[in-house]
Amino acid sequence: MFVVGADLTRLSCDDVLVPTGRTLRIARSWRALLPDDLVTDEDAEGVCVDLAWNGDERVLEVPGPGARQAWLLDTVDDRGRGLGWLLDGAREALAAVARREVAEPVHGRARRLVGLPALGTGWGGAAGRRGDLLQQLLPVLREAADEHGFDVALVLRGPSDLAAAQRIRREDTAGWDLPEPLRVLAEQLGERARRGQLALFIGAGVSAAAGLPTWEQLLDELAGHSGLDDDLREGLSRLPPQDSAALLARELGRERLEAFVQERFGPGPYALAHALIADLPVQEFVTTNYDPLVELAAADIGRDLSVLPYDEARPGRPWLLKLHGDAAHPESVVLTREEYLQLGDSRAALAGVLHSLLLTRHVLFVGTSMLDDDLIRIAHQVRSAVQGSDRGPRRPSGTVLALQEDAARSRLWEQDVETVAMARGDTPPAEAARRLEVLLDLIGCLSTPPTGYLLDPAYRGMLSAGERALAEALQAVSDVMPEGAGTPSAAGEVAALLRRLGAGRSAGRRDGGPDGTSGEQPADAATEPRDDRLQSQRPG
């Protein structure tokens, strides 16, 4: 079972649970999951679905094309039946999902992935009891995942929800099926992330989990568009990849090549790994990928990444360096040998950023085989600079999370980075990739600040006596804060701290719900846009 900050309508998964009520009206934020022919009415508040309940059933399978299956679940408790009723609905929905046969999980995952929100925390009646709900829902989801043999992702968009859920999970260390060495590694990397010492390097393997091609697959796809005869296409495999790319670029023409890259690597659903990476409390990201999936996943939880070198880097704002170009700027894409050589010349400033990170941070490499010429050159340059400083032995400047054991490659890189394999060499790659997701999930849990819900009234029940006293004192400070305090001022700094502690996140107002019910507007629709992580979706 995973806990992740994301937008369920854009997370790549096999099944999605969508909250509704007996009127079959859902919040508008779920509209992308519904076929057009099922929508009978639509306005700013919600969408009506042309389906019908059969008796007292609570789960409906939404018909429609596509590999991702949506399910409607009745979560609106208008009779005061309590959290037990919501939990029973979750069990019933997951059992219905398990009965649907799936020949192969999405994009070759080892197991099906089922995504759901914190059920009932919108208009379902549990908005003010979010702590109680999460404490009881998390074990239910884990039991269902074990029973049915699929993975479950609890998707939360609010910072209070994420912080509270991760605190609950930290109290039960049995929630991650990992060998002890990987658990120890997760603790070390989580501590580095909390201290601001961790940076991320993201390779093509991460985006492969979202259905995007690896380098070899990209060359195959380009060859299919090139019109080369069979002999030349066969000869491509005998050329170094960068030379194959150069020949294909010449045959296609730069304009057609750029158009292909822009379309193939454009916005789309992101993988679970993208969301887990974007959740980490890390400020510096580097990637050789052309796609925008990391920045999309970050934006969906309110993290506005500056994409370098196209955006301006701003103090305090996290950034993502596109080392090999960006599909949104196809003229910048590095593909051929000549372009790689230019990276060491005209694009040296970009490589210098990674130099700096390897010298000043601990870089976590995910989804890369460490065979890229640029990485080899940069690592060599950093090694030369350190060895020339007349200092003693230096700790590795990074950790590579490899899918399978490769003793020779680990030995090759041991002077620069520590290589940690997810599984033995005979383990299927999909199983090793899933273990990598589990490891990223544990790192995220251990690195999440434990205070993000301290001032959120919906989580008051989770606080100890000492925490409640502290929350009351801080709330008194929040009550006297001037409105519109600018960040450069002392008041602005205090206001930012209070927001990070959950101040102002559950203030509700009387309004009608999307099911025609009345009550307090849920906290997950009232999150202020100045929060670090937005929550605009209204599950339940």
Low-confidence ranges of the chain (pLDDT < 50): 507-540
What does the pLDDT read at residue 129?
84
Element housing 477 (H / E): helix 465-479
pTM given for the model: 0.88
Question: What mean pLDDT is reported for the chain?
Answer: 84
What does the pLDDT read at residue 74?
94
* DSSP string of 103-165, one letter each residue: SS-GGG-SS-EEEE--TTSSSSS-GGGHHHHHHHHHHHHHHHHHHHT-EEEEE--SHHHHHHH
pLDDT digits (tens, 9 = 90+) for 350-370: 888 888 898 899 999 999 877
**What angle is formed at CA 29 by the lines to CA 27 and CA 34, rounded to 5 degrees?**
85
CATH architecture of 2-157: 3-Layer(aba) Sandwich (3.40)
What does the pLDDT read at residue 480?
84
What does the pLDDT read at residue 407?
81
Map out the domains of the chain as residue ranges: 2-157, 190-447, 463-501
> 402 forms bridges with which residues in the sheet?
421
Cβ–Cβ < 8 Å for 299, 306: no
Cβ–Cβ < 8 Å for 431, 397: no
What does the pLDDT read at residue 125?
72
Measured in whole angstroms, the distance separating CA 368 from the mean position of its chain's CA atoms is 18
What does the pLDDT read at residue 114?
98
What does the pLDDT read at residue 510?
29
Say which CATH class 190-447 falls into: alpha beta
